[in-house]
Chains A and B, each alone.
Chain A
């Protein structure tokens, strides 16, 4: 039993080390991509209409 305790405890510490050093977080964010045409157009992604036109996903 104490061997199981040591193994599982060691795995927990290793898991913590893996997450801490990789700096992984369970982020709630959605991901999307701005089309190249939008990025090269005047105003580009900074226009209000781009974010509210429904053209890009993620929101």
Chain B
């Protein structure tokens, strides 16, 4: 029996009614490159066709629980041989395909609705184990027709008359890459659906290009731009439909911001979804996002009736670098496995010449990696250069006098000890001075200094203060310490001139530290600059990377 989707005689599929020894019967069918063998199952409770929505569970005795993967309408095109029913060509019939774990497969045949539905269940068959031993030449020809064909059909665009070589015999819709016009494949010819305009985006992989990708000979037959809106921002990505003639199946390549994904459609029944987790082949994928993905642009041929504006609910689950993608519409749920692929693997696989020398040099690295690499290299270059250009000159280095303990004890009011450093001259560009105050560790007291930088020529004064304190001891046999015996700050961009430091020491006169030291260094490098800038850069790159991967 040969069926086609209702309203289209193209992309037909064949089903063979097989007799087994012992008066047993089964159906053998091929779709999307896979062969399935099913038999009717009694006492299976099938939902009504209107309720057979994608994802709904169906219990079939003797089989693991299956889910509705697709429902649709079909019509019989032709039939031949001994069949268990009276064939009625062109009569609309409804059906729902089911998918279960381990390649189990089923179909609910609702017929024309005049009789109770019949449930068929079985599983995938390895095509390598199939051989044709047909009783009649007609059947042999029919089965041979189901074999892969690589020949390319040549059609012309009904809108602009441009040649449209079609590589896939399963294509249902074609978008002209020259004029953008969309056409339906009907009775072996193209029927214009709507005019278009020239593609605003040039596909990286030209349509019709043959290549070899991950062990498969493929032909790039379709190009599509899809997008989604999140928080008023529009995100777009590009998808390439690849046809594998040898297996009569399809694959996808997805490109967004120069990051590429290799996408293999998988059986919905092989994915077990529990709340925010999807399990596939024993690996657990965590939910990352759900968006509404809309088709914005199409070119080339497609095995479904693609439309501009066609939308699906796309949900992603991630596990390491791989993703599971579910795309759900009213009548179909499609799952696929996405794994990263290097751009050079794509360009090499299709024999593409890089568009520029610069592009060739960077083709081997995904965009995210390149962005991280170049920004960190730029940061390192700035850090090294800014350190290398420092003159690092010590302009003051002295021990400070401490408060007069005896005078304080006698009650005499005394002036805080004050020190003026030796004058020093700064020349050239304005550079900063780092001042540092330090005391002995374990001083168990505090000390401070009011520091003034005086320009003896202009009278300009800049002031700051520093405090140091360090406490330590032993409690219950455990040593402890707190505070910091060293403090520092900066006088920013000090212009050229003759300067002195005035340092006025403070602290507890009854308990001064053993020593208090002051040091000033002109034009030295700043660890704060390096740490803050590196920290902010890494945090931003991390946040952006997460955003890019989620998008």
- Chain A positions near chain B (C-beta within 8 angstroms): 1-6, 8-10, 12-13, 15-17, 19-36, 38-39, 45-46, 48, 51, 56, 58-59
**How many chain-B residues does the 8 Å CB contact rule pick out?**
54
Cβ of B489 < 8 Å from any Cβ of A? yes
State the CA gap A24–B532 with chains docked (Å): 14
Which residue from B382, B452, B548 sits with its C-beta under 8 Å from A5? B548
Q: Is the CB of B415 within 8 A of A48?
A: yes
Q: Is the CB of B454 within 8 A of A34?
A: yes
A22/B493 contact (C-beta < 8 A), A1-B257, A2-B548, A46-B420 known: yes
State the CA gap A14–B249 with chains docked (Å): 50
Q: Is the CB of A20 within 8 A of B544?
A: no
Please give, as numbers and ranges, the residues of chain A lying within 8 Å of B310 by CB-CB distance.
none
Q: Is the CB of B379 within 8 A of A29?
A: no
Return A57 CB to nearest CB of chain B, in Å: 9
Q: Is the CB of B463 within 8 A of A30?
A: yes
Q: Is the CB of B415 within 8 A of A3?
A: no
Which residue from B489, B526, B547 sits with its C-beta under 8 Å from A28? B489
Return A18 CB to nearest CB of chain B, in Å: 10
Q: Is the CB of B526 within 8 A of A25?
A: yes
* Closest partner residue, chain B, to A5 (CB atom): B544
* Closest partner residue, chain B, to A4 (CB atom): B544
Cβ of B462 < 8 Å from any Cβ of A? yes
Q: Is the CB of B536 within 8 A of A34?
A: no
- Jot down 23 A-B pairs with beta carbons below 8 A, ordered by A: A1-B547, A1-B548, A2-B367, A2-B368, A2-B371, A2-B544, A9-B537, A12-B537, A13-B382, A21-B385, A23-B493, A25-B491, A25-B493, A27-B464, A30-B463, A31-B462, A32-B461, A33-B460, A34-B454, A34-B459, A39-B456, A58-B461, A59-B463
Cβ of B529 < 8 Å from any Cβ of A? yes
Please give, as numbers and ranges, the residues of chain A lying within 8 Å of B40 by CB-CB distance.
none
Q: Is the CB of A13 within 8 A of B235?
A: no
State the CA gap A12–B415 with chains docked (Å): 48
Q: Is the CB of B548 within 8 A of A20?
A: no
State the CA gap A18–B540 with chains docked (Å): 19
Cβ of B386 < 8 Å from any Cβ of A? yes
Return A27 CB to nearest CB of chain B, in Å: 4
State the CA gap A20–B526 with chains docked (Å): 8
* Closest partner residue, chain B, to A48 (CB atom): B415
- Interface-centre pick from A3, A29, A35, A38 (highest chain B CB count, 10 A): A29
Find residues 441-479 in chain B having any chain A CB closer than 8 Å to their own CB: 450, 452-454, 456, 458-464
Q: Is the CB of B529 within 8 A of A16?
A: yes
Please give, as numbers and ranges, the residues of chain A lying within 8 Å of B431 by CB-CB distance.
23
